């Protein structure tokens, strides 16, 4: 089970816009950077999938 968990998770050192991260955390209701980033990623992927299925464009997403 640990091997499967390692495949699903990774560590990365990135520079983040702290104000934007805080705003996203407030919107999502998250209390940790990890939860906020994973929540944003999940919502973005879901929005892109909806868009690919013919829904409205994803606001703020890069085109292409």
Whether residue 59 is contained in a domain is answered as no
DSSP string, 5-64: HHHH---------HHHHHHHHHHHT--SHHHHHHHHHHHHHHHHHHHHTT-PPPTTPPP-
Residue 47: how many other CB atoms lie within 10 Å: 17
* pLDDT at residue 44, rounded to an integer: 95
Round to whole Å and give the CA distance between 17 and 15: 7
Asked if the structure places residue 64 within a domain, the reply is no
Q: Is residue 1 part of a domain?
A: no
The parent domain of residue 23 ranges over 14-52
Minimal CA–CA distance to 34: which of 15, 17, 5, 11?
A: 11
Q: Is residue 25 one of the residues assigned to a domain?
A: yes
Residue 31 lies in a domain: yes
pTM given for the model: 0.69
In a domain, 37, yes or no: yes
Q: What is the pLDDT of residues 11-59, one digit of tens each?
A: 899 999 999 999 999 999 999 999 999 999 999 999 999 888 886 666 6
Domain count, the chain: 1
* Residue 42 within a domain: yes
């Amino acid at each position: 089970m640990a091997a499967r968990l390692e495949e699903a998770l990774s560590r990365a050192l990135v520079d983040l816009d702290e104000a934007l991260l805080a705003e996203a955390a407030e919107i999502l209701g998250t209390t940790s950077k990890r939860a906020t980033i994973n929540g944003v990623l999940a919502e973005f992927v879901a929005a892109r999938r909806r868009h690919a299925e013919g829904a409205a464009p994803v606001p703020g997403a890069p085109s292409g």
